[in-house]
A and B are shown apart, each in its own frame.
Chain A
Amino acid sequence: MADTGRSPAAGISFEGVSMTFAGVRAFEPVSLDVKPGAFVSIVGTSGCGKTTLLRIAAGLIAPSEGTVNLGGARPGMCFQDPRLLPWRNSLDNVTLPLELAGISPDERQDRGIEMLRMVGMGDAWNRMPVQLSGGMRMRVGLARALVERPPALLLDEPCSALDEITRETINELLADLWKELGMTVVLVTHSLAEAVYLGRQVVVMTGRPGRVVSVHGIHLPSRQPEVRTTVEFAQALQSIYRDMTLPRPPGGIAPSSLSKHAGAEP
Chain B
Amino acid sequence: MKRVIHSLWPPLALVAVLLLAWETLVFALQIRSFLLPAPSAVLRALIDNADSLSRSLGLTTLAAVGGLAIAAIVGTVVGSIVASSRLLYRGAYPIATLLQMVPLVAIAPLLVIWFGYGVKSALASAAIVSVFPVIANTVDGLRSTDPNLRELFRLYGADRSTTWWKLALPWAVPNIVTGLRIASGLAVIGAIVGEFVSGYAGADAPLGVVVLSSLREARTDLVFAAVALGALVGFTLFGAVSALGWLLMRGRT
Residue on A with the closest CB to B173?
Answer: A87
Q: With contacts A85-B170, A87-B251 known, is A96 near B156, CB below 8 A?
A: yes
Contact with B along A74-108 (1 / 0, CB 8 A): 10010101010111010000001101110000000
Q: Is the CB of B148 within 8 A of A128?
A: no
The CA-CA distance from A130 to B249 in the complex, in Å, is 12
- Which chain A residues (231-262) contact chain B, with CB distance < 8 Å? none
Ranked nearest first, the 9 interchain pairs of A and B with the lowest CB-CB distance are: A128-B251, A100-B156, A97-B156, A86-B252, A100-B158, A87-B170, A83-B152, A83-B148, A87-B252
Q: Determine how close the nearest CB of chain B comes to the CB of A256; give it in whole angstroms.
A: 44
Verify if B149 is at the interface (C-beta below 8 Å from A). yes
Verify if A24 is at the interface (C-beta below 8 Å from B). no
- Which chain B residues (151-180) contact chain A, with CB distance < 8 Å? 151-158, 162, 166-167, 170, 173
Verify if B30 is at the interface (C-beta below 8 Å from A). no
Q: Is the CB of A79 within 8 A of B156?
A: no
Verify if A60 is at the interface (C-beta below 8 Å from B). yes
Q: Determine how close the nearest CB of chain B comes to the CB of A105; give it in whole angstroms.
A: 14
Q: Which of A74, A85, A89 contacts B157 (CB 8 A)?
A: A74
Verify if A58 is at the interface (C-beta below 8 Å from B). yes
Q: Is the CB of B156 within 8 A of A101?
A: yes
Q: Determine how close the nearest CB of chain B comes to the CB of A183; give it in whole angstroms.
A: 16
Q: Is the CB of B154 within 8 A of A100?
A: no
List 28 A-B pairs, Cβ < 8 Å.
A58-B155, A60-B154, A74-B156, A74-B157, A79-B148, A81-B148, A83-B146, A83-B148, A85-B149, A85-B167, A85-B170, A86-B252, A86-B253, A87-B173, A87-B251, A89-B251, A96-B156, A97-B156, A100-B156, A100-B157, A100-B162, A100-B166, A101-B156, A101-B157, A128-B251, A128-B252, A130-B252, A130-B253
The CA-CA distance from A83 to B253 in the complex, in Å, is 15
Q: Hey, which chain B residues are within 8 Å of A130, CB to CB?
A: 251-253
Residue on B with the closest CB to A98?
Answer: B156
Sample of 17 more A-B contacts, CB < 8 Å, known A83-B146, A83-B148, A83-B152: A59-B155, A60-B151, A60-B155, A74-B156, A74-B157, A79-B148, A85-B149, A87-B173, A87-B251, A87-B252, A89-B251, A96-B156, A100-B158, A100-B162, A100-B166, A101-B156, A130-B251
The CA-CA distance from A100 to B156 in the complex, in Å, is 7
Chain A interface residue number, banded: 10 to 19
The CA-CA distance from A59 to B154 in the complex, in Å, is 9
The CA-CA distance from A128 to B251 in the complex, in Å, is 6
Q: Is the CB of B252 within 8 A of A77?
A: no
The CA-CA distance from A89 to B250 in the complex, in Å, is 11
Q: Determine how close the nearest CB of chain B comes to the CB of A142; give it in whole angstroms.
A: 14
Q: Determine how close the nearest CB of chain B comes to the CB of A138; give it in whole angstroms.
A: 15
Residue on A with the closest CB to B154?
Answer: A60
The CA-CA distance from A101 to B157 in the complex, in Å, is 8
The CA-CA distance from A233 to B33 in the complex, in Å, is 93
Q: Determine how close the nearest CB of chain A comes to the CB of B87; give it in whole angstroms.
A: 22
The CA-CA distance from A246 to B249 in the complex, in Å, is 47
- Which chain A residues (34-84) contact chain B, with CB distance < 8 Å? 58-60, 74, 77, 79, 81, 83
The CA-CA distance from A128 to B252 in the complex, in Å, is 7
The CA-CA distance from A75 to B253 in the complex, in Å, is 31
Q: Hey, which chain A residues are within 8 Å of B153, CB to CB?
A: 100
Q: Hey, which chain A residues are within 8 Å of B157, CB to CB?
A: 74, 100-101
Q: Hey, which chain B residues are within 8 Å of A77, CB to CB?
A: 155
Q: Hey, which chain B residues are within 8 Å of A58, CB to CB?
A: 155
Q: Hey, which chain A residues are within 8 Å of B166, CB to CB?
A: 96, 99-100
The CA-CA distance from A79 to B151 in the complex, in Å, is 11
